[in-house]
Amino acid sequence: MSKLLGVAVFLAAAGVLIGFYVSKLTTDAGSPSYTVPVQTAGAHPVVDLTIETVAAVGPQLSPGHPDFVSYLIRDTTGKWRRDTVWRLPANATVHVTVYNFDGASGLRNPYLARPLGVDGNQEVVDGKPVSVINPDDASHTFAVPQLGLIVALPGVGDNAKNQCGYAPCPMSNAHRTITFTFHTGAKGHYRWQCFVPCAAGWIDGFGGPMQTIGYMDGFLDVV
């Protein structure tokens, strides 16, 4: 009888622990996120998201991996942060500005060179609206597949002068400016990624920073 009771207690304890684990797994939002400030609140909020892409994140922002290619986000103080989990409001209009300081690697699949899921299906590159970029000129993409969003970012020319070494890169360094607008839609936990094999020195350009949240991948926490 005592053995039976022991087994019952053990099973009950195991059940409670499994319940806690599943509960945490289903409610955990993952990595801590950076809350992007809302410009205009209300039912249809407006958000300005300013990010940059750099060929080498540098020892200041990533002492362990200074040579990793990375996305950075600019906070309200103008400081560049290496956070790639961003909290955005649901049903928001997001105006994105990307400063790209990196050179071109080229898209493995040219189909992804066409902006999709953005207003007008266009992106603005250095002030000029375009419906597609040359896939060979792509340096990175900002893509949220679950939202149908993909924007290819053209890179700095190989012969450009004053190229950035380590981030943070001053605006006097050679860069491209890309802007576009998308909408967050329903609440959710959406991953974003780069589709360009831009991880220099890694197999097929898709290891290291391409497979590490905090560099070329992240989440949009739409709340």
Partner 1 sequence: MPNHGRRVIGAWIVLSVVATPLVAIFLGPELPPGHASQQASEQVFDNTVITSIVTPVIALLLVFFVYALMTFRKAPGGALVDGPPLRNDNTIQVLWVALTSVVVLFLAGFGTYELLQNGSGGGQGPSPIATPSGPKLQVQVIAQQWEFTYRYPSYGGVETSQLVLPENTEIELHVTSLDAIHSFWAYELGIKADANPGNDNIAFLKTKGPDTFKVHCAELCGLWHGYMFSNGRVVSSSQFAAWVKQQQQVYAAVQQYMPAYATTYFPDPQRRAG
Q: Given the rule CB under 8 A, which residues bind partner 1?
A: 103-106, 108-111, 113-114, 116, 121, 131-132, 134-135, 143, 145-146, 148, 191, 193, 195-202, 204-206, 210-213, 217
Q: Write down the least CB distance from residue 196 to partner 1, Å.
A: 8
Q: Write down the least CB distance from residue 215 to partner 1, Å.
A: 11
User: How far does CA 217 lie from the centroid of its chain?
Assistant: 5
Q: Write down the least CB distance from residue 142 to partner 1, Å.
A: 14
CA angle 27, 18, 20 (to 5 degrees): 40
Q: Write down the least CB distance from residue 117 to partner 1, Å.
A: 9
What b/e sequence results for 80-114 when a residue is b if at least 16 CB atoms lie within 10 Å of its CB, and e otherwise? Answer: bebbbbbebbeebbbbbebbbbbbbbbbeeeebbb
Residue number, 34 or 202, with CB nearest to partner 1:
202
Q: Write down the least CB distance from residue 115 to partner 1, Å.
A: 9
Residue number, 45 or 185, with CB nearest to partner 1:
185
**Residues in the chain, total:** 223
Residue number, 122 or 179, with CB nearest to partner 1:
122
DSSP string, 97-146: EEEE-SB----SSGGGGS-BSSGGG-EEETTEEES---GGGEEEEEEEGG
Coil vs helix vs strand at 68: coil
Residue number, 74 or 114, with CB nearest to partner 1:
114
Question: Tokens in use for 143?
Answer: 């893509």
Distance CA 42, CA 46 (A): 9
Q: Write down the least CB distance from residue 200 to partner 1, Å.
A: 5
Distance CA 146, CA 151 (A): 14
Residue number, 58 or 103, with CB nearest to partner 1:
103
Residue number, 89 or 155, with CB nearest to partner 1:
155
Q: Which residue has the tokens 């410009």?
A: 39
